[in-house]
Structure 1
Amino acid sequence: MILYEYPFNERIRTYLRLEQLFIRLANLISREQALDHHFAITTLFEIMDVGARADLKSDVLKDLDKQKHAMDAFRGNPAIAEGVLDEVIQQLDQCFQSLSGLSGKAGQSLTENDWLMSIRSRIGIPGGTCEFDLPAYYAWQHRPSSERTSDLVTWSKTLTPLADSIQLLLKLLRDSGAPQKVVASSGQFQQNLPQGRTFQLLRLALDPTLELVPEISGNRLMVSIRMMRQGEDHRLHPCQENASFEVALCS
């Protein structure tokens, strides 16, 4: 199944973008080629750009604290395993303490590294990191893979508290939604959302053999999904067939 996710607010949209970047960064660091490590540094700068939003850190801390209070409310519930509950609350506490212990915005300590900042100033220019532009960076790319990996791990550790916090918050959010099988009649599906409840994320699982692409839109009142299929002209065209898929609303 191909899983599509649609955020209902800007905060969750930012979390999903950061999650994608952190996953990419980890994959690139684990590789050995200099080109992979070049794109790892590029990804590091992308995370810093996304994390530069002034209220991001406070938003994450508020969400961690909110989730902890929500978990505390489950204590004494016979349907809840106390051991698992304690483990989740401990994870929330650890993330909160680690993130609150960081000063400034995400990756702010990296801005004090003049060598990295010299790369950052050139990396957005097409071909701007050639050896004649940044000879020190060119030399670094010729160092042993183990040395480059060690540097990348050191730099990325400054972002680990944010990465762990977002990963935990998104896991808890995703676990809050129960998937349901639905059908898009003639490629169209609409669902009214219950009043008095705020959803933050829609998850849609689609069989890849259908060769369909969902176009999702939504607000606090309704969600709409239109199934599309890519034609020979590489453009998306509305699907007129009935299509079944799974959808979960997460709050």
Structure 2
Amino acid sequence: MILYEYPFNERLRTYLRLEQLYRRLGELLARAHPIDHHFALVTIFEIADVASRADLKTDVLKDLERHKSLLDSLRGNPDISERMLDQVSRHVEQCFTQLNAQTGKAGQSLAENEWLMAVRSRIGIPGGTCSFDLPAYHAWQSQEPQLRLRDLEDWAGTLAPLCQSLQLLLKLLRETGTPQWVAAEKGLFQQAMPPGRSFQLLRLRIDPTLNLVPEISGNRLLVSVRLLRPESGSKPQPCSEDASFEVTLCS
């Protein structure tokens, strides 16, 4: 099954973009080739760019505080394990404390590193990191893999509290949904949002053998999915056949 996710607000769009970048960084750090470490550094810069949004840290701290209050309100419920509740609460509190202890924006210390900023000024230019442009960067890439990895892990470590907080928030959000199978008649599915609830994320799983791509749109009142069939060398075309897939709404 192929998973697609559709966020219903801009805050969650930012969270999902950062999650994707953190996943890419993790994959690249597990490798040893200089090219992989080059793109790991590119990814660190991309994370820092997204994380530099003025209100991002505040949004994440507010979401952690909201989850802490929600978990506290569940204490004493006989249907909920107190042990699991304590475990999740401690995790939320730990993420809040570590992120709140960071001064300024996430990754701010990277901007104070003159060597990194020299690389960053050239890294977005096609071929801008050649040895004749950045000899110091070329020398760094020529070091032993473990030395480059140590530097990359140090730089990525300044972004770790934000990463851990986002991972926890998205995990808690995804666990709020209940999957259901739905049918798209002639390639179109529409569903009115249940009243009284504010949803943040739609998760859609579809069988890859159907060779269909979902085009998702939605707001607080209605969600719509139009199925498209990929065409080689041209835009995907609307599907006119019935098909089914799994949908999960998360709040």
TM-score bracket, normalised by the shorter chain, equals over 0.9
Structure 1 residue 147 and structure 2 residue 147: aligned? Answer: yes
C-alpha distance in 1 between matches for 2:196 and 2:121: 47
C-alpha distance in 1 between matches for 2:232 and 2:247: 28
Correspondence 1:33-72 to 2 at 5 A: 33-72=33-72
> Deviations for 1:185-209, whole angstroms, at most 9, x for unmatched residues?
0000000002221100000000111
- 1:199 aligned partner: 199
Cα deviation for residue 42 of structure 1 reads: 0.2
Correspondence 1:15-34 to 2 at 5 A: 15-34=15-34
Structure 1 residue 247 and structure 2 residue 240: aligned? Answer: no
Q: What secondary structure, in the 3-state scheme, does the structure 2 residue paired with 1:237 have?
A: strand
How many residues are paired up? 251
C-alpha distance in 1 between matches for 2:233 and 2:151: 45
> Deviations for 1:150-202, whole angstroms, at most 9, x for unmatched residues?
11011111110000000000000000000000000000000000222110000
Q: What secondary structure, in the 3-state scheme, does the structure 2 residue paired with 1:235 have?
A: strand
- 1:116 aligned partner: 116
Residue identity opposite 2:118 in structure 1: S
Residue identity opposite 2:3 in structure 1: L
Residue identity opposite 1:65 in structure 2: E
Cα deviation for residue 24 of structure 1 reads: 0.5
Residue identity opposite 2:244 in structure 1: S
C-alpha distance in 1 between matches for 2:207 and 2:78: 37
With the length of structure 2 as denominator, give the TM-score of the two structures: 0.99
Identity level (%): 63
C-alpha distance in 1 between matches for 2:19 and 2:205: 19
- 2:79 aligned partner: 79
Computed over aligned residues only, the root mean square deviation of the Cα atoms, in angstroms, reads 0.7
> Deviations for 1:120-158, whole angstroms, at most 9, x for unmatched residues?
111111111110110000010000001000110111111
> Deviations for 1:23-63, whole angstroms, at most 9, x for unmatched residues?
11111011000000000000000001101100000000000
> Structure 1: any 5+ residue segments left out of the alignment?
none
C-alpha distance in 1 between matches for 2:176 and 2:4: 16
Q: What secondary structure, in the 3-state scheme, does the structure 1 residue paired with 2:191 have?
A: strand
- 1:219 aligned partner: 219
Cα deviation for residue 112 of structure 1 reads: 1.0
- 1:128 aligned partner: 128
> Deviations for 1:201-237, whole angstroms, at most 9, x for unmatched residues?
0000001111100000000000000000012334200
Cα deviation for residue 18 of structure 1 reads: 0.2
Cα deviation for residue 240 of structure 1 reads: 0.7
With the length of structure 1 as denominator, give the TM-score of the two structures: 0.99
- 2:158 aligned partner: 158
After TM superposition, where is structure 1 displaced by more than 4 Å over at least 4 residues in a row?
Answer: none
Q: What secondary structure, in the 3-state scheme, does the structure 1 residue paired with 2:87 have?
A: helix
C-alpha distance in 2 between matches for 1:204 and 1:86: 31
- 2:170 aligned partner: 170
> Structure 2: any 5+ residue segments left out of the alignment?
none
C-alpha distance in 1 between matches for 2:206 and 2:71: 31
C-alpha distance in 1 between matches for 2:41 and 2:233: 36
C-alpha distance in 2 between matches for 1:119 and 1:231: 40
